[in-house]
Amino acid sequence: MKGIWTGVFRFSLFLVVLLMISACGRSIEGSQTPQQGKLRVVVTTSFIADVVENIAGDKVDISVLLPSGQNPHSYHPAPMDMVAISEADLILANGFGLEDFLEELLSGSDTEADLIVVSEGIDPLMITGNHDDEDDHGSEDSMEAVMGQDPHVWFDPNNVLIWAENITTALVEQDPDNETLYQDNFGTYHGQLLELDAWIREQIEKIPENQRELVTDHTTLGYFAEEYGLVQIGAVIPALTTEAETSGMELAELIDGIREHHTKAIFIGVDFDPNLAQLVANETGVELVPLYFGSLSDGEPAGDYLSFMHYNVSAIVEALQ
């Protein structure tokens, strides 16, 4: 039955694409759409969209599959996303397993666009966690298991700098006439990211060394902790996605760890169900501090990447001082 429903879904999306293309008035010869020949770029996240905007300005039309406020772990493609993919000249993705949905979108479309993984060149962190394995005698043994690559690379501006380099290269290849503009804008953004990195280091120095410990709703701040000398001591859901589940034993271990380390806060995503985190907070007496994790905000206070990092770092420093 799963194969039948998948076929029906893809056929429905195909019909939507045909109708949308017809409605847009594209001729058989493939004449340009009303955007006057601008490069059509599809990006998966609002973070990538912001970097593209900083480099390309108004030279490209950007479609974002995961808009501001959309949790990437709970996203399901819509028919309009298939239209955007089919009409794209360039597709930019984070990689490291964040966009599991993208393969189905690509296979169900007739796109000829280049797919660029903007995280190419970043050394991925590997996430491990406890895995309960039941042996033949019915006993359970807990073991460390690798859950996968950590996709949350945007929490380190040095990684976003690698994004910017990859995006600039991709834009120049697609649109060499605007190479000078792209390279100049990259130079400006490069400087802003370096300034952000220096500012973060100054802020972290305000936190006593014995209090530079992080507890989050799920495993999100690995790259931030690795770069700036903090430690992730646990997560309410010790997994890469908020769609995973946690056990009572894992919650009990987290509560014990928070008490042992005298942790001051649990950082939760603004779009995350706080019930489990609130349970842990009630047991330990720590504060719940909202952060932006999976996307930019729609406007203030985290409407672009630089603001996103300033907001989050300020909240982290204030909570841990």
Task: Write out pLDDT tens, residues 52-67.
Answer: 999 999 999 999 999 8
For the chain, the domains span 2-24+34-122+152-191, 206-320
pLDDT of residue 292: 96
Fold: same for 2-24+34-122+152-191 and 206-320:
yes
Fold of 2-24+34-122+152-191: Rossmann fold (3.40.50)
Strands 39-45 and 287-291, by their bridges, are unpaired
Do 35 and 61 contact (CB within 8 A), yes or no?
Answer: yes
Calpha distance 147→130 (Å, rounded): 9
Does the pLDDT at position 30 exceed 50? Answer: no
Which tokens belong to 96?
């490291």
Does the pLDDT at position 22 exceed 70? Answer: no
Does the pLDDT at position 169 exceed 60? Answer: yes
Residue 286's closest CA among 230, 223, 233? 233
pLDDT of residue 287: 95
Q: Quick one: pLDDT band at residue 241, thresholds 50, 70, 90?
A: low
Task: Lowest mean pLDDT of 17-21, 44-48, 111-115, name the range.
Answer: 17-21
Does the pLDDT at position 166 exceed 60? Answer: yes
315 vs 28, residue with greater confidence: 315
pTM of the model: 0.84
Calpha distance 10→15 (Å, rounded): 9
**Sign of the dihedral through C-alpha 201, 207, 209, 210:** negative
Neighbours of 22 (CB within 10 A): 9
**What mean pLDDT is predicted for residues 124-135?**
64
As a whole number, the mean pLDDT across the chain is: 85
Q: Quick one: pLDDT band at residue 29, thresholds 50, 70, 90?
A: very low
Do 15 and 83 contact (CB within 8 A), yes or no?
Answer: no
Fold of 206-320: Rossmann fold (3.40.50)
Does the pLDDT at position 188 exceed 70? Answer: yes
Coil vs helix vs strand at 287:
strand
Do 268 and 260 contact (CB within 8 A), yes or no?
Answer: no
